[in-house]
Amino acid sequence: MHSSREAPLVLKRALPFLGAVALLWMLGSCSRPDREKAETPAPPGSVLVKGAGATFPSLLYKRWFATYQADHPKTVITYDSVGSGEGIRRFIGKSIKDADKIDFGASDAAMNDQEVAQVPGGVVMLPVTAGSVVLAYNLPDVGGDLKLSRKAYAGIFLGEVKNWNDPLIAKTNPNAKLPKLTIAAVVRQDKSGTTYAFTKHLDAISEKWRGQHRPATLIEWPGLVMRAPGNEGVAGLIQHSVGSIGYVGYEFARKVGLRMALLENRQGNFVRPTEQTGKAALAEAQLPEDLRISIPDPLGLDSYPIVTLSWILLYKRYEAPEKAEMIRDLFGWCLLNGQNEAPNLNYIPLPQNVAVKALSALGSITVLGNENSAKR
């Protein structure tokens, strides 16, 4: 058994990083309006397009926008990776400062009906990329890959599996040198689409989770947890906290060099997160007309169990014809040319059937007062 004094030890080791994360978060929050004002001026004759939202796809979005802008010098694109919840809030646009007004949002959780109803004129939700949510951990070398059963990782985030040498973990790692350490779960402190994707999966695999919680972008986590803003903050906190485990976008775990657990999928296989296992999970995805879909527990022998699409949120009608035209061209480019860049940054290219439906939806965007302006 562990002494309860081990938990503060994990936290003590993480305190310097936690302090730095908190300081950067506060500084970013306080200075954001000024930073937006500094970014908004655009050269004469150019079109400025501002977006904000999900951190999960932010590495890919920034690459896309920089590449597109280099080839379209009359376009200026800014993107503020503030989390899915804040991205939806700004997209809806009520009670926000002028500096926070955006032309598109981004979220790893599709907007619900109540949120859509708050946007006059309607919303076009485009799935533009996909990725895996991994369980990254920081442990001394255990002598091989760490395998976590569905019961084990659900138990960790329910606050029931508290120690790394717990029998549930030891059962699937019989030859591992599991340390006598308290588990500290690293979670998001902001409203997050990554949180939604992970808790949607927990809801699908754990009756106990369904009975106590719901899929949500913000959760009151049970047990010992440490909180950080954004995928990058979670990855950094895991990196600096021995004994920790957290859910984070695959691309951020790879960027920092974190170890990632092999997770038990629906068929009972322990699967490593890769582009191939992520593609396998998405292979059977069938999009409804509104393009809102989740795959909380995918079928397939080789499917990685936690994958999510990520959406760009667009207004159905834009006031300026040049902005509507530019947005259609920009995200058309992302859905076609941009998909080739996704694997280089550890994202999953969209299945062809998803990309085709997204392109069709993009063509429905119009100019306010001119419904015939939509293009395919």
| 216-233 pLDDT per residue, tens | 999 999 998 999 999 999
The residue among 127 and 370 whose pLDDT is bigger is 127
Please report, rounded to a whole number, the percentage of residues in the chain having pLDDT higher than 90.
79
What is the C-alpha to C-alpha distance for residues 43 and 76, in angstroms, rounded to an integer?
9
Task: Please state the φ and ψ torsions of residue 105, each to the nearest 5 degrees.
Answer: -110, 175
Quickly name the fold that domain 29-131+309-373 has: D-Maltodextrin-Binding Protein; domain 2 (3.40.190)
Q: 3-class DSSP state for residue 17?
A: helix
In CATH terms, are 6-23+132-282 and 29-131+309-373 the same topology? yes
Identify the bridge partners of residue 260 per DSSP, sorted by sequence position.
Answer: 136
Q: 3-class DSSP state for residue 272?
A: coil
What is the C-alpha to C-alpha distance for residues 156 and 335, in angstroms, rounded to an integer?
37
**What's residue 41's pLDDT?**
59
| Mean pLDDT of the chain, nearest integer | 89
Residue with tokens 């050269």: 43
**What's residue 285's pLDDT?**
80
HEC string of 180-245? CCECEEEEECCCCHHHHHHHHHHHHHCHHHHHHCCCCCCCCCCCCEEEECHHHHHHHHHHCCCCEE
Mean pLDDT value across residues 337-364:
95
316-333 in b/e burial notation, b at 16+ Cβ within 10 A?
Answer: bbbeeeebbbbbbebbbe
Query: In CATH, which of 1.10.3470.10, 3.40.190.10, 3.40.50.10170, 1.20.1090.10 is domain 6-23+132-282?
Result: 3.40.190.10
Mean pLDDT value across residues 268-292:
92
Mean pLDDT value across residues 191-202:
97
| pLDDT for 207 beyond 50 | yes
Q: Using 50, 70 and 90 to split pLDDT, how confident is the model at 33?
A: very low
**What's residue 12's pLDDT?**
53
Q: Using 50, 70 and 90 to split pLDDT, how confident is the model at 348?
A: very high
**What's residue 14's pLDDT?**
52
Q: What are the domain boundaries of the chain?
A: 6-23+132-282, 29-131+309-373
Least confident stretch, 251-260, 295-304, 367-376: 367-376
Q: Using 50, 70 and 90 to split pLDDT, how confident is the model at 284?
A: confident
The DSSP element (H or E) to which 314 belongs, if any, is strand 307-315
**What's residue 15's pLDDT?**
52
**What's residue 29's pLDDT?**
38
Q: How many helices and strands in the chain, by DSSP H and E?
A: 13, 14
**What's residue 22's pLDDT?**
45
The DSSP element (H or E) to which 174 belongs, if any, is none
How many residues does this entry show for the chain? 376
What is the C-alpha to C-alpha distance for residues 300 and 63, in angstroms, rounded to an integer?
31
Q: 3-class DSSP state for residue 96?
A: coil
Q: Name the residue among 85, 133, 103, 130 with its Cα closest to residue 287.
A: 130
**What's residue 266's pLDDT?**
97
**What's residue 372's pLDDT?**
53
Tell me if 45 sits within 8 A of 75, measured CB to CB: no
The DSSP element (H or E) to which 76 belongs, if any, is strand 75-81
Q: Using 50, 70 and 90 to split pLDDT, how confident is the model at 146?
A: very high
Tell me if 77 sits within 8 A of 65, measured CB to CB: yes
Tell me if 196 sits within 8 A of 203, measured CB to CB: no
**What's residue 7's pLDDT?**
42
Tell me if 324 sits within 8 A of 375, measured CB to CB: no
